[in-house]
Amino acid sequence: MLGRRQLREKWFLLAPAMAVLALITLMPLANTFWLSFTDTRISALPTPTHFIGLENYIYALTDPDFQDALFRTLYFTVVSVGLEGVIGVAIAVLLNQQFKGRTLLRALIILPWAVPTIVNAVAWRLIYHPDYGALNSMLYQLGFISDYRSWIGDPMTAMHMVILADMWKNFPLVAYVALAALQTVPGDLLKAAAVEGASPWKRFWSITLPWIAGPLMVVMVLRTIEAFRVFDIVYVMTGGGPADSTKTASFYVYQEYFNYLRSGSGASYAVLVAGISAVMILGYYAAARRQSQGGAA
Amino acid sequence: MTSLGRLLFGSAMATLAMAQAASAETKLNALFMSQAAYSEADIKAMTEKFEAANPGVSVDLEFVPYEALHDKIVAASGAGDDGYDVVLFDVIWPAEFATRGFLTDVTDRIPADYTEQVFDGAWTTVEYGGKRYGMPWILDTKYLFYNEEILSKAGISAPPKTWNELADQARTIKAKGVLEYPLVWSWSQSEAMICDFTTLTAANNGKFFEEGAPVFTVGGAKDAVSFMKATLDEGLTNPASREYFEEDVRRVFSNGEAAFALNWTYMNALANDPAESKVAGKVKVAPAPGVDGKSVASSVNGSMGLGIPSNSPHADEAWAYISFLTQKEIQEDYSKLSLPIWKASYDNPKVTEGQEDLIAAAKQSISVMYPRPLVPSYTEVSDILQKNIHEVLLGQADVDAALAAASDRVKRIR
């Protein structure tokens, strides 16, 4: 138990940090939240602002286009983070083996993650180019396609092409965290399991994966938040097209705010996107807690 | 002092001296686009001339893609003294910018005799509610470019006068195996597509709005979308057009892979430049065609103007710079990539020489320039049309359903 003096001291020491946090996080958050209940517009002229209650939210949620965008974003998030998880762990397991050139490969694998998103997006747009893209050229020469295709101009493939580009950029992060975690898995345990006759597959599922689940969860949560508010890579690669087939929820925040100059409405979209991310994060944590409790039992 | 030390000291003093000199003069921040019309090199050269003629004023140039221009202007409106002093703005924005107070009203700064000397279509670019919010600078529209060699290979002697004739000629070119896809357009989900759509709507005597209500679901606007879709279905239009911007159109056309293309003025000089084009010398330009019984030629108003953001602290210097760039002599000196706003320039040999067919086309096109909807919510209207027309072009919706959906959505704009 802290004494009264110690308690006061504790608050005194925490105060500066909390003040900074309030200034840079809580205030903008509160401001955005307040804006979302108003009809504020961006203007250089004095314009009256009114409190309009839930009108912005009702407008957003009853817009079928925005509903589509939410599901599209969810699809993007699940597929892209899911693939990053699977490929990231698989690569990490590979990089955890002893082989020649391992150090070099470990260094190389981080490169995609080091590339800025915009550069990555431009590079992939060139790769997918309908007339002189490397993807068309490769598939054509290998005989997989008989004609050059429009990869990001076709609504059936555009989203998957963006997901591929996003995945290529972000799997190294998962791989690195998983690799670091893998190095803490006790070798004795794995050896003992092997002696007992557990197959490599069984050893991975029953020992390795549960062991690295904690750190993996953290990186997956981070990636999920980032993926759900995806904007930049889509903006550069497709601009939301073709026919809105890659338009994600964050586009609405941007559009309402900067294109249509309705900052109040834009704030409501921002709160919605942030709120849904928060729900997903809570879901992850619930899953993580259940798992750690299961592990203890 | 060592020689290196002296060098460092010397350059430090020089920097200091320059910084002092700079603080005594006015620095203008100007925002331009790096796409179509005047090239960056042209704008830099004009600016150097301005700086030489106006000691004490220097201009910092910033070039952004067209797609970023609107948002940059809006975002900088809250930047106080650190915003822009001169901005390039599109014909579709004055309604919005004026109602939001982003641009300074410059009606009184413009000499009265200019009104007669400059084309009406150019003035539309800067006007809203009877006031002027800048000076028109780029007088532009989409012209029909055609490859004479391809046409003659297919036995065609004259360019099309109507859009149906154009489709017929494209069919002939395709049937004779000269080209797989004779037509190329900028039909990505973007403003570029709306410009082509507007040209076709104008040709068909269509309307976008009547008394504030959308009427693009019927008549000429609908015919325009149907025509676009039909050329795709028939294989006359390059299917990759649905992800192309103007620069892609220029590239495809300059590679000799298309017989016809709609594009801005700047393509005339570049498609005829051997360093930029494989078809230099074979490129001809004409006004975009009309429709039998409805129009002789068609054209979209794609002009742009220069204005002073309302937060600029240097309005007088900014206006001097704008006046310099938009003056007749400067525009005539740089008339290869963008044509002047001044009527008299079109008979000046300095402008017409070497691009006689462009000037002839311009005289006709400028007189029929059709505006995109002049409403404050234009950006949103355009986004809605882009999405729904794109669905038609991609075969996801039929023309009637898509335009009805767009109309419903436009009515929902707040």
Q: What is the pLDDT of residues A258-273, one digit of tens each?
A: 899 999 999 999 999 9
Q: State whether residue B64 is helix, strand or coil.
A: strand
Contacts of B315 (CB under 8 A, 6+ apart): B85, B104, B308
Helix (H) or strand (E) holding B136: strand B135-138
Which of the 8 DSSP states describes residue B277?
-
Nearest to B221 by CA among B232, B233, B213, B209: B209
Closest CA of chain A from B408, distance in Å: 12
Contact A91, A171 (CB under 8 A): yes
Residue A46 lies in a domain: no
Chain B residues touching residue A42 (CB < 8 angstroms):
74, 77-78, 100
Tell me: pLDDT of A292 over 90.
no
A296/A173 Cα distance (integer angstroms): 28
Strands B131-132 and B304-307, sheet pairing: unpaired
Residue A57 lies in a domain: yes
Nearest to A150 by CA among A124, A122, A131: A131
Chain B residues touching residue A124 (CB < 8 angstroms):
none
Q: Does A82 touch chain B (CB under 8 A)?
A: no
Chain B residues touching residue A63 (CB < 8 angstroms):
412
Contacts of B394 (CB under 8 A, 6+ apart): A154, A155, A242, A243, B242
Contact A84, A170 (CB under 8 A): yes
Residue-number span of the structural domain to which A276 is assigned: 53-296
Q: Does A255 touch chain B (CB under 8 A)?
A: yes
* Number of inter-chain CB pairs under 8 A, A vs B: 81
Give me the domains of chain B, ranges plus CATH numbers: 26-140+302-366 (3.40.190.10), 143-300+377-411 (3.40.190.10)
Residue A38 lies in a domain: no
Contact B384, B206 (CB under 8 A): no
Residue A74 lies in a domain: yes
**pLDDT 10s digits, A21-47:** 989 999 999 999 999 999 999 888 888
Computed over every residue of chain A, the mean pLDDT equals 91
Chain A residues touching residue B83 (CB < 8 angstroms):
none
A133/A142 Cα distance (integer angstroms): 14
Q: Does B329 touch chain A (CB under 8 A)?
A: no
Residue in A42, A45, A155 nearest the CB of B394 = A155
Look up residue B337 and give its two tokens: 């990539």
Chain A residues touching residue B102 (CB < 8 angstroms):
44
CATH number (domain holding residue A182): 1.10.3720.10
Chain B residues touching residue A265 (CB < 8 angstroms):
414
pLDDT at B34: 86
Contact A44 B67 (CB under 8 A): no
Higher pLDDT, A122 or B2: A122
pLDDT at A294: 54
Closest CA of chain A from B390, distance in Å: 5
Closest CA of chain B from A153, distance in Å: 5
Chain B interface disruption, residue of A259, A262, A263, A269, most B CBs within 10 A: A259
Q: Does A157 touch chain B (CB under 8 A)?
A: no
Contact A44 B102 (CB under 8 A): yes
Residue in B252, B311, B379 nearest the CB of A44 = B311
Contact B117, B109 (CB under 8 A): no
Closest CA of chain B from A266, distance in Å: 13
Q: Does A66 touch chain B (CB under 8 A)?
A: no
Contact B268, B285 (CB under 8 A): yes
Contact A131 B383 (CB under 8 A): no
Tell me: pLDDT of A285 over 90.
no
Q: How many domains does chain A have?
A: 1
Helix (H) or strand (E) holding B199: helix B191-203
- Nearest residue in B to A239, CA atom: B189
Contact B306, B134 (CB under 8 A): yes
Per-residue pLDDT in tens (0 to 9) along chain B, 414 residues: 455 555 555 555 555 444 444 445 899 999 999 877 899 999 999 999 999 999 999 999 999 998 889 999 998 988 888 899 999 999 999 999 999 999 999 999 999 999 999 999 999 999 999 999 999 999 999 999 999 999 999 999 999 999 999 999 999 999 999 999 999 999 999 999 999 999 999 999 999 999 889 999 999 999 999 999 999 999 999 999 999 999 999 999 999 999 999 999 999 999 999 999 999 999 999 999 999 999 999 999 999 999 999 999 999 999 999 999 999 999 999 998 899 999 999 999 999 998 999 999 999 999 999 999 888 899 999 999 999 999 999 999 999 999 999 999 999 898
Chain A residues touching residue B310 (CB < 8 angstroms):
44
Contact B239 A131 (CB under 8 A): no
Beta bridge partners of B89: B305
Closest CA of chain A from B102, distance in Å: 6
Distance of CA A143 to the CA centre of its chain: 35
Closest CA of chain A from B41, distance in Å: 24
The structure's pTM equals 0.87
Chain B residues touching residue A155 (CB < 8 angstroms):
394, 396
Helix (H) or strand (E) holding B326: helix B315-326
A264/A35 Cα distance (integer angstroms): 5
Closest CA of chain B from A84, distance in Å: 28
Which of the 8 DSSP states describes residue B348?
-
Nearest to B114 by CA among B344, B369, B385: B344
pLDDT at B12: 53
Contact A242 B243 (CB under 8 A): yes
Residue A127 lies in a domain: yes
Helix (H) or strand (E) holding B340: none
Contact B71 A259 (CB under 8 A): yes
- Does the interface ipTM go beyond 0.90? no
pLDDT at B67: 86
Chain B residues touching residue A240 (CB < 8 angstroms):
189
Q: State whether residue B209 is helix, strand or coil.
A: strand
Contact B87, B306 (CB under 8 A): yes
Length of chain A: 297
Nearest to B229 by CA among B141, B167, B295: B167
Closest CA of chain A from B190, distance in Å: 8
Closest CA of chain B from A6, distance in Å: 46
Beta bridge partners of B64: B33
Angle at A108 between CA A103 and CA A109, to 5 degrees: 100
B362/B367 Cα distance (integer angstroms): 8
Residue A221 lies in a domain: yes
Chain B residues touching residue A59 (CB < 8 angstroms):
414
A83/A175 Cα distance (integer angstroms): 12
- Nearest residue in B to A262, CA atom: B414
- Token pair 């000499």 is found at B111
pLDDT at A150: 86
Contact A261 B70 (CB under 8 A): no
**pLDDT 10s digits, A60-98:** 999 999 999 999 999 999 999 999 999 999 999 999 998
- Nearest residue in B to A154, CA atom: B394
> Which of B148-180 are b and which e, b meaning 16 or more Cβ less than 10 Å from the residue's Cβ?
eebbeebebeebbebbebbbebbbbbbeeebbe
Contact A262 B102 (CB under 8 A): no
Residue A16 lies in a domain: no
Which of the 8 DSSP states describes residue B372?
P
pLDDT at B20: 47
Starting at the edge strand that comes first in sequence, how are the strands of the sheet with B26-33 ordered? B57-64, B26-33, B86-90, B304-307, B135-138
Contact B387 A131 (CB under 8 A): no
Contact A43 B190 (CB under 8 A): no
Distance of CA B98 to the CA centre of its chain: 20
pLDDT at B374: 82
Contact B67 A239 (CB under 8 A): yes
Residue A190 lies in a domain: yes
Give chain A as a 3 state SS string: CCCHHHHHHHHHHHHHHHHHHHHHHHHHHHHHHHHCCECCCCCCCCCCCCECCCHHHHHHHCCHHHHHHHHHHHHHHHHHHHHHHHHHHHHHHHHCCCCCCHHHHHHHCCHHHHCCHHHHHHHHHHHCCCCCCHHHHHHHHCCCCCCCCCCCCCCCCHHHHHHHHHHHHHHHHHHHHHHHHHCCCCHHHHHHHHHCCCCHHHHHHHHHHHHHHHHHHHHHHHHHHHHHCCCHHHHHHCCCCCCCCCCCHHHHHHHHHHHCCCHHHHHHHHHHHHHHHHHHHHHHHHHHHHHHHHHHC
Chain B interface disruption, residue of A56, A129, A150, most B CBs within 10 A: A150
Q: Read off the pLDDT band of A148 (50, 70, 90).
A: confident
